[in-house]
């Protein structure tokens, strides 16, 4: 019954045709019990165009759940392939830069290797347990889900009391950096105790950020190509503590920027 349900739903989506909009469809297949809604699935291409990783959280229910994930190109008679499943807590080379947290340790992952440029894919994930099953169907264009992993090896070096050198390394999972270069953004913030501070620098945009107990000024500095893995931040205030992060984005702007790197703190020297 399970295989019949999967084939039925896959064919139903294919009949919609290549001109249809991206799908996020939730269906119950042969459900005989009270099965909860399928958790949200997030797919991203972390190494364009070769590697896609789809992830979703482990359900809170106690019944053991088995997952079957398949994918195909979105056209009639496309070959259906089985996605490589990575259970929560497992080690895998594609997870080497995934942030370690209690949430990420409870994520299921589905790895789709060796994908094609300018190609739309259909993903079908079916969850099965003793009470029944449910499926999650989605389609996406490869270029729309590009998102690199964060840069690594962030180092901060004051050059003067007002100038800071920021250096980093590209995400190691971005395997084709010579063909598909990256551009970077630097985000830095400091606590604001008085009036907002104006920052007037080229390629820098700032905004006020308020939390429950603090007020911050947060600035984003748009940097250049992958060859430029360092930047100078000028006009900083001696003695002020800054919190800096870096994100990576495909150079042509495909998809979106990576998650921000882990924050680095530095207090600018008061004297040189």
User: What does the pLDDT look like over 124-160, one tens digit per residue?
Assistant: 998 887 777 888 888 999 899 999 999 999 999 999 9
pLDDT for res 134? 82
Answer yes or no: is pLDDT of 198 > 70. no
With pLDDT > 70 as the criterion, what percentage of the chain qualifies?
72
Higher pLDDT, 103 or 125: 125
pLDDT for res 50? 82
Alpha-carbon Rg for the chain, nearest whole angstrom, is 23
Half-sphere exposure of 13 (CA within 13 A, CB side): 30
Q: Which residues pair with 165 in a beta bridge?
A: 157, 232
Answer yes or no: is pLDDT of 113 > 70. yes
Pairing state between β 132-141 and 120-129: antiparallel
Maximum CA pair distance of the chain?
A: 74
Q: The tokens 């105790």 sit on which residue?
A: 193
Report phi then psi at 12, rounded to 5: -60, -40
Report phi then psi at 13, rounded to 5: -70, -40
- The DSSP H or E segment spanning 220 is strand 215-222
Do 89 and 105 touch, CB atoms closer than 8 A?
A: yes
pLDDT for res 5? 37
**81 Cβ contact partners less than 8 Å away, ≥ 6 residues apart:** 70, 71, 72
**57 burial type by CB count under 10 A (0-12 exposed, 13-18 middle, 19+ buried):** middle
CA distances, 96 to each of 78, 83, 100, 155, 196 (Å): 32, 19, 10, 20, 40
28-83 confidence digits (pLDDT tens) = 344 444 555 666 889 999 998 888 999 988 776 656 678 899 999 987 788 899 99
Mean pLDDT of the chain: 77
Do 26 and 37 touch, CB atoms closer than 8 A?
A: yes
pLDDT for res 146? 94
Q: Which residues pair with 108 in a beta bridge?
A: 56
Query: Of the given ranges (22-31, 71-80, 189-198), which has the lowest mean pLDDT?
Result: 22-31
Q: Residue 13 in 3-state DSSP?
A: helix
69-100 burial: b if 16+ Cβ within 10 Å, else e: bbbbbbeeeeeeeebeebeeeeeeebbebbee
pLDDT for res 103? 46
pLDDT for res 4? 36
CA distances, 246 to each of 69, 158, 199, 221 (Å): 33, 17, 19, 9
Do 128 and 68 touch, CB atoms closer than 8 A?
A: yes
pLDDT for res 63? 66
């Amino acid at each position: 019954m399970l295989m019949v349900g999967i084939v039925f739903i896959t064919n139903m989506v294919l009949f919609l045709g290549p001109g249809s909009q991206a799908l996020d469809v939730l269906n119950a297949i042969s459900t005989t019990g009270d099965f909860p809604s399928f958790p949200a699935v997030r797919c991203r291409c972390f190494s364009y165009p070769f590697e896609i990783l789809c992830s979703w959280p482990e359900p809170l229910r106690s019944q053991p759940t088995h997952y079957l994930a398949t994918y195909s190109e979105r056209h009639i008679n496309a070959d259906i392939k089985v996605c490589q499943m990575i259970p929560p807590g497992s080690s895998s080379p594609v997870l080497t830069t995934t942030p370690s947290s209690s949430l990420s340790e409870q994520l299921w992952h589905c790895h789709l290797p060796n994908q094609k440029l300018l190609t739309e894919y259909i993903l079908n994930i079916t969850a099965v347990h003793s009470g029944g099953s449910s499926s999650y169907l989605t389609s996406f264009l490869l270029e729309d889900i590009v998102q690199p992993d964060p840069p690594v090896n962030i180092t901060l070096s004051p050059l003067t009391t007002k100038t800071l050198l920021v250096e980093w390394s590209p995400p190691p999972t971005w395997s084709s950096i010579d063909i598909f270069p990256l551009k970077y953004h630097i985000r830095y913030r400091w606590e604001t105790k008085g009036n907002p501070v104006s920052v007037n620098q080229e390629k820098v945009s700032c905004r006020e950020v308020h939390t429950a107990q603090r007020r911050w000024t947060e600035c984003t500095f748009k940097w250049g190509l992958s060859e430029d893995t360092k930047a100078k931040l000028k006009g900083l205030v001696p003695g002020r503590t800054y919190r800096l992060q870096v994100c990576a984005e495909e150079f042509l702007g495909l998809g979106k920027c990576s998650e921000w790197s882990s924050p680095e703190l530095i207090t600018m020297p008061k004297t040189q």
